[in-house]
Amino acid sequence: MELEERNKRVLQAVIDSYIASGAPIGSSVLVKRFDFGVSSATLRNIMAELEELGYLTHPHTSAGRIPTDRGYRYYIDSLISVENDADEFGDQLRQAPPLHGDDINDLMEEASRFLATLSHCAGVVVAPSEPEVNYRHIEFVRLRGRQVLIIFVTDGGTVQNKLIELDESVRQHDLNVFSSYLDEELEHWSLPEIRQRVLERLAEEKRLFVKLMEETYQASQQVRERESEKVYIGGASQMLESPEFATVERMKALLKAFEDKYKLLKLLDRSVAAQGIKVFIGSENPNFEMQGCSMIVSSYKAGTNIVGTLGVIGPTRMQYKQVIQVVDYTSKLLSKLLEERFQRGIER
Amino acid sequence: MELEERNKRVLQAVIDSYIASGAPIGSSVLVKRFDFGVSSATLRNIMAELEELGYLTHPHTSAGRIPTDRGYRYYIDSLISVENDADEFGDQLRQAPPLHGDDINDLMEEASRFLATLSHCAGVVVAPSEPEVNYRHIEFVRLRGRQVLIIFVTDGGTVQNKLIELDESVRQHDLNVFSSYLDEELEHWSLPEIRQRVLERLAEEKRLFVKLMEETYQASQQVRERESEKVYIGGASQMLESPEFATVERMKALLKAFEDKYKLLKLLDRSVAAQGIKVFIGSENPNFEMQGCSMIVSSYKAGTNIVGTLGVIGPTRMQYKQVIQVVDYTSKLLSKLLEERFQRGIER
DNA sequence: TATTAGCACTCTATGCGCATGAGTGCTAAG
DNA sequence: CTTAGCACTCATGCGCATAGAGTGCTAATA
């Protein structure tokens, strides 16, 4: 499986050139632009060998070589090294205008645009799925008659809300009492635990509260579901700039995929578990109408260990080295911002 | 300015045919498909006349006629009649799956997809701008240290929130006291009025409350700004189906325009004032990178008289008659839903 | 005076042939 | 193992001829 050193260098040269130019790379181009110390004929032999192994292909007999998905995979895994330190692009990255949204939704949207701008691809951010949310505060507001608005505030300052309808009318005072009760309990227990306690202890005694607790619990489930489906996509039109999407068919397919955010979410979520950067190349994206697309994703931390996913989707032929840096940088940046947000509250 | 009856009918025939087929309409097609009782030569003369007047044009000498924007305008204003009653499309419309989101944001998004699906265009819904919001409840939640989350609940059940940072730490108890105070006052006064009262009456006496009031007021302004920028776009890829967007350039321009939601907002907002359906054809859309696009918009009421805008954007060559029905139906549907939402609360 | 038939004209779209050039694969010599 | 050389393939672009659609105009007609 391990290639000869020279062949590696040729493969890298082909892929680099192809990424840069977008046109199939012939042996003569390699001779002109690189110094392998061999003739074009030898390069042809090497390229034929690389094609044999499945790393390269050519669109027709008399055309130059282009990388296959497998070739890109090898390129990512073995050929490029991403040095975060001290290269011009890294500096450029650090000089990018920072994110500053104080609302968490704004922040996510900003981050997706940030990714898009710097990578010239579509930026995608999936909001933290928060499997174990700690609510800090739960508030009930009586709207009109039997309508009650439940407001959930998480530790991180995210606010979610859900409108419920009770069987009977209820006084705001009772709601306040219950809210205070919940607030106190929330310091020690999670919502499911509190629910358990209420069900056990209050049973018949305070029907209203039991009822309210049930409604609240269900609402929190629903809210969490809705919340966990949040996908932010920024700069989708960015990636249409690249010539690979010059055909209308492809563009349409791509946009359809973007509109079906849920599919995207599932795809991205699968990679959440892994730490660090993951790269999915072309056909490696399963059941996704995105032939010719690559995804570069990373996860980010929010506060303690609540984790979301973020990344970019672009043409298979993209500037992997730079884009990987962008994704890495952004995930760290976002983690830091969320951490700060968290800390800023704790101290004092 | 008024055309002869026969010429009108020819113009309508040409536009109808063109909308149906998408190809330039020649005199022979008209003879075949319609029964004007005249020969193709006469029709040629009539069409030449209509071209003279600016209603038709032809892409090159030996091609059939296609409508100009002016032609479409005349078509909309004078030629088509939209009977809401008893036609098959109306029935089809009423059989469409209803909207059911209970959260107001969900509802808007659903509505935009509803529009898109039924019109085969991109659906756009602009959230009510609520120039005079009546807050029903304002809640303060102390997060950590000096961070306080302000939660605004409007009459309609919309929840908005904003994180602020105070100079000094504050106890939740004080926040609760202030919140109760506000709640009582909110029944009689609007937020700016309350602010005025607090500033006048409490002046030096209770510095914390004055401070809090100021912060709350500012936050409410900011929140309103953010909220009023909400534009929901559904099914943008729908409209790319039509052959007019077969060129990549156009598609890109269009998508860029969609991404810049703010521009769209301003455009749509301008037509809010008018009641009923408005149709903007092609070049009538000012400074909008949407050559070849038409917009059909209407306004909807939410509760009493808070008003939003909704509509579709599609190719100039669209099924105006049907799409106008769709937009009309949707705006009424949404108004009704919001009204119900409002009523359901009031009764008991 | 309005309509119509007829015809020349224009322009597009399509297909074919051909030349060009890029790039390969193969072979035989170094 | 490398290289020079050569035949071969294929996409691309250009020129040209042709077919067909549709018009505009003119002269005849009702």
Tell me, yes or no, if A304 comes closer than 8 A to chain B by beta carbon: no
List residues bridging with B300 in a β-sheet: B308
Tell me, yes or no, if B140 comes closer than 8 A to chain A by beta carbon: no
Taking alpha carbons only, the member of A61, A79, A74, A69 closest to residue A24 is: A61
B311 φ, ψ (degrees, to nearest 5): 175, -170
Q: Choose the most confident range, by mean pLDDT, from A99-108, A171-180, B49-58, B205-214.
A: B49-58
Calpha distance A257→A237 (Å, rounded): 13
Report the DSSP pairing between strands B122-126 and B135-142: unpaired
* B39 CA – C2 C1', rounded, Å: 12
Calpha distance A11→A9 (Å, rounded): 5
Overall average pLDDT of the A7-17 stretch: 95
HEC assignment per residue over B55-112: CEECCCCCCCEEECHHHHHHHHHHHCCCCCCCCHHHHHHHCCCCCCCCCHHHHHHHHH
Other C-beta atoms closer than 10 Å to the C-beta of A291 total 14
User: Could you check: is the Cβ of residue B63 within 7 Å of any atom of nucleic acid strand D?
Assistant: yes
Comparison of pLDDT for B283 and A182, the residue scoring more: A182
Quick one: tokens of A147?
């309508």
Helix H or strand E segment including B20: helix B5-21
Q: Choose the most confident range, by mean pLDDT, from A245-254, A334-343, B243-252.
A: A334-343
Residues (11-50, chain B) with CB within 7 Å of strand D atoms: 24-29, 40-41, 44, 47-48
Q: pLDDT of A192-216, one tens digit each?
A: 888 888 888 776 666 778 888 888 8
Question: What Cα–Cα distance (Å) separates residue B329 from each residue in A173, B14, B295, B321?
Answer: 42, 27, 16, 12
Residue A151 has pLDDT above 70, yes or no: yes
Confidence (pLDDT) at A347: 46
Question: What Cα–Cα distance (Å) separates residue A72 from each residue in A336, B163, B291?
Answer: 31, 45, 40
Calpha distance B12→B4 (Å, rounded): 12
Neighboring chain A residues of B157 at a CB cutoff of 8 Å: 143, 147, 149, 163
CB B50 within 8 A of CB B9: no
Which site among B106, B140, B161 would you substitute to test the A interface, given the most A Cβ atoms closer than 10 Å to its Cβ? Answer: B161
Calpha distance B295→B281 (Å, rounded): 6
Question: What Cα–Cα distance (Å) separates residue B347 from each residue in A166, B72, B159, B341, B344?
Answer: 14, 47, 22, 11, 6
Give B146→chain A minimum CA distance, Å.
Answer: 7
Q: pLDDT of A110-135, one tens digit each?
A: 999 999 999 999 999 988 766 556 78
- For every residue of B208-247, DSSP letters joined together read HHHHHHHHHHHHHHHHHHHHTT-EEEE-HHHHTTSGGG-S
Calpha distance B135→B220 (Å, rounded): 10
- Segments in chain B below pLDDT 50: 347-348
Chain position carrying tokens 């032999």: A45
Calpha distance A102→A156 (Å, rounded): 11
CB A153 within 8 A of CB A137: yes
Residue A73 has pLDDT above 80, yes or no: yes
Neighboring chain A residues of B247 at a CB cutoff of 8 Å: 248
Mean pLDDT score of chain A, rounded to an integer? 83
Task: Give residue A331's identity as a one-letter amino acid code.
Answer: S
Helix H or strand E segment including A186: helix A172-186
Which site among B237, B238, B338, B343 would you substitute to test the A interface, given the most A Cβ atoms closer than 10 Å to its Cβ? Answer: B237
> Which nucleotide across the nucleic acid strands is nearest to B44, CA versus C1'?
D23
Quick one: tokens of A166?
């009770």
- For every residue of A247-300, DSSP letters joined together read SHHHHHHHHHHHH-HHHHHHHHHTTTSS-S-EEEEGGGSTT-S-TTEEEEEEEE
Question: What Cα–Cα distance (Å) separates residue A7 from each residue in A38, A71, A72?
Answer: 12, 12, 15
Residue A304 has pLDDT above 70, yes or no: no
Overall average pLDDT of the A48-65 stretch: 93
